[in-house]
Chains A and B, each alone.
Chain A
Amino acid sequence: AQSVTQLGSHVSVSEGALVLLRCNYSSSVPPYLFWYVQYPNQGLQLLLKYTSAATLVKGINGFEAEFKKSETSFHLTKPSAHMSDAAEYFCAVRPGGANNLFFGTGTRLTVIP
C-alpha cells in the first residue's frame, strides 16, 4: 500500500525565513516522489521530482527536497521565503511500476511580511 502524510495543514513563515514543509511516504516498492504547488485559482504545477537519481533534488523557484529512505521522508525546503511562495503545496508518490499519483492532503503556506 502507498500513502503520503503531510504534517501540518497550515504553515506560516516570515518573509526571508526558512521554509520547511514535511512529507512522509509509505510505499511497498521503490517510489518516485513529487512536490506540486497550487497557486490561488491555478492548477497543480510541478515543483520538483525524485526519480532515484540524486537524493537532493532541486526544483523551481529555489525549492529543494531531500529523499531520505531511512526516514521515509521527502521534505521540501527553501532557505528564504518570498511573498510569492504563498500557495498550497502537495507531496505525491508514484510507486515504481504504477502510472498514477497518490497525493498528501496538502500544506497551505502563508508568508508574513
Chain B
Amino acid sequence: EPEVTQTPSHQVTQMGQEVILRCVPISNHLYFYWYRQILGQKVEFLVSFYNNEISEKSEIFDDQFSVERPDGSNFTLKIRSTKLEDSAMYFCASSEAGRVAGNTIYFGEGSWLTVV
C-alpha cells in the first residue's frame, strides 16, 4: 500500500541551527501538509501546499518556517533558526484532492525533532 515516508525519524539539533525535514508524499497525491505535535499536546496544522505554493498556513507557521518541493517527489520543511519550543513530532501528510467530502489525508510516521 502506498505510504508517506519521512526522514529522519529522529533528529537532535542545537538551538539556533537550521533543520530540514524531508518527506516523500504518495506519488499521485497533489496536496501536501505539515503538522506537528508537541509532547502531550494535540496535533496541530502548520501548512498545506498545492501546485507549488502554500495554500493555507496556521499562525504557528511564521517566518522561520518554509516549505519546498525541490523535485517531483520530495516535500521539505525547513526551520531556519530552531528554538527550544520547536521540539516536537513533525508529521508530513498528503492527499489526492483538496476540499472534497471524501478526501482523506494520509500521514507519515513522523520526524521527532529535539532542540537542545
Contact = CB atoms under 8 A, between A and B. Distances in A.
Interface of A: 32, 34, 36, 41-46, 49, 51-52, 90, 92, 94, 96-106
B43 A90 contact: yes
The size class of the interface chain B forms with chain A is: 20 to 34
Interface stretch (B13-21, B67-75, B78-86, B103-111): B103-111
Nearest to A51: B101
A102 B109 CA distance: 18
Contacts, number: 58
B26 to A, nearest CB: 12
Contacts of A103: 35, 42-44
Nearest to B93: A44
A103 B107 CA distance: 13
B42 A104 contact: yes
A73 B114 CA distance: 35
Contacts of B56: 98-100
Interface string B28-41: 00010101000001
A105 B42 CA distance: 4
Interface in B52-96: 55-56, 58, 91, 93
B4 interface: yes
